[in-house]
Amino acid sequence: MEAGSIFLVLALAVLVAIFVGRPLLSRAFARPRVEVIAEDSLEHRRSALLAEHDRLLATLQELDFDQALGKIPAEDYPVQRGALMRRAAEVLRELDQIHGQASAVDAEDRIEQAIAARRADSARAAAPSSTPAAPAALAEDDLEALIASRRKQRLEKSAGFCPKCGRPAQKSDRFCSGCGAVLG
């Protein structure tokens, strides 16, 4: 009986070894072919270039915005913008090589068009929904008038303070939100 149990343990060990070693021996886990590796590498490079292109466009848009606000000195702006434009043009050329396209439009013109499209998208997102054709940047006088009207609206809503706890109360409140006291 002891020999039977030894054979049983030995048979189980062989089955476990075959089960564990099968992936190592099968061709499904062998090295991929050269074409698959090259295709994956090309797709990875394309994805990295698209991400770099988006990052450069966002940086250019942010640089233009900072320059418009006066955050960047006038002598630094052209240098920084030129360096970003050159890098973005290189990225576009590499993307064109990957796609096998020869575009008639210059790479820098394509970058400018993409930046303009992003500006238009952000202006549409920032514009109030009631006035879809509102300009992206309000004039200073318009901005001041808007601030004054908002302050006036806030003052009209306020009715004072709760006489019991001192919390601010609005005209429409009948009870204090803090202590529950009846407001007159």
Count the domains in the chain. 1
Is residue 62 one of the residues assigned to a domain?
yes
Is residue 140 one of the residues assigned to a domain?
no
Q: 53 near 91, Cβ under 8 Å?
A: yes
Write the DSSP assignment of 7-59 as a string of letters.
Answer: HHHHHHHHHHHHHHHHHHHSGGGSPPPHHHHHHHHHHHHHHHHHHHHHHHHHH
Is residue 69 one of the residues assigned to a domain?
yes
| pLDDT above 80 (res 77) | yes
Q: Which residue has the higher pLDDT, 80 or 113?
A: 80
Which of 54-63, 70-79, 136-145 shows the lowest per-residue confidence on average (mean pLDDT)?
Answer: 136-145
Average model confidence (pLDDT) across the chain = 79
Q: Domain of 42?
A: 28-127
Give the tens place of pLDDT for each residue, 104-151: 456 667 777 777 787 777 777 776 554 444 454 546 777 788 888 877
Is residue 175 one of the residues assigned to a domain?
no
Q: 89 near 71, Cβ under 8 Å?
A: no
- Non-local (6+) Cβ contacts of 111 within 8 A are 56, 57, 60, 85, 88, 89, 92
Q: Which residue has the higher pLDDT, 100 or 78?
A: 78
Give the tens place of pLDDT for each residue, 164-180: 888 888 777 888 888 98
Is residue 132 one of the residues assigned to a domain?
no
pLDDT of residue 30: 58
| pLDDT above 90 (res 46) | no
pLDDT of residue 8: 92
For the ranges 57-66, 103-112, 153-162, the maximum mean pLDDT occurs at 57-66
pTM: 0.43
pLDDT of residue 36: 62
Q: What value does the mean pLDDT take over residues 76-93?
A: 90
Is residue 96 one of the residues assigned to a domain?
yes
- Non-local (6+) Cβ contacts of 31 within 8 A are none
Closest CA to 96 of 113, 77, 110, 117: 110
Helix (H) / strand (E) containing 159: strand 158-161
pLDDT of residue 130: 47
Helix (H) / strand (E) containing 83: helix 77-99
For the ranges 26-30, 67-71, 107-111, 173-177, the maximum mean pLDDT occurs at 67-71
Q: What value does the mean pLDDT take over residues 11-33?
A: 78
Is residue 54 one of the residues assigned to a domain?
yes
Is residue 136 one of the residues assigned to a domain?
no
- The span from the CA of 80 to the CA of 150, in Å, is 39
